[in-house]
Amino acid sequence: MISRRRYLECALPSGVVGIAGHRLGPGGARDPVSVIPFTNEGPLPTGVTFGEELDGRRLADLSTIRDSESVTAAENFYIRTRASRLLPRPERWRIQFSGPGRSLYLEAEHLVRHAATFAPCVMECAGNRRAVRFGLMSMARWGGVRLAGVLGDLGLSRPGLWVRVSGFDAYESLSATSIPGASWVFSLDDLRRAGALLATHMNGQPLTLDHGAPVRLVVPGWYGCCSIK
């Protein structure tokens, strides 16, 4: 799964809002002759990390996309919010699974040991727009375990089940741009159809703190706000 119109048709060329003309390239392909740059773009830079906690950002530089299979390196992948300074050390994490009359825990390391690698997918923030140079979008090859499978293994899966996924949500500083609230509710069927992951790896490497270490939800095909860190 790649999608988002084949990753913006390989970001032809980045910073382009229109094509003034075409010429035929090799094999009859249509190549742009000239381009019209975006106007009234925000002043924010791309490819650098700025701000802290809920106000932390990194806007991806879409001009680095070369083909539809190109994943975004972790250090260039967009960030909508950075890790809390109050976040516990990753090696101490346990993931809680609760259902009617039951509360179970899995060590994060258990998920790491059983992680598989899945097809790359595009993740995009629901707030991706011109003011942020459309830089809140990137593609990664995620590694982890299917959430629906974990729920089944723990005996917490049943027809008609709805699942609330919540992340760590305490911050040292107040935010000027965001409201705390790291949770989302899904039907079990939605999680299965999307192939939702409890992700532990990104492009073959352990997650970094700003990308949700030690484990985050990834829901392919859904906006990034649903992929709870």
- Contacts of residue 21, Cβ cutoff 8 Å, sequence gap at least 6: 32, 33, 34
Model confidence, pTM? 0.82
pLDDT tens digits, one per residue of 115-166: 999 999 999 999 998 888 889 999 999 999 999 999 999 999 888 999 999 9
pLDDT in tens, 1-31: 555 555 555 555 444 333 333 444 555 555 5
Cβ 132 vs Cβ 44: under 8 Å = yes
H helices of the chain, in order, are 4-11, 108-113, 147-153, 188-194
Q: Which domains does the chain have, with CATH numbers?
A: 4-16+43-226 (3.90.420.10)
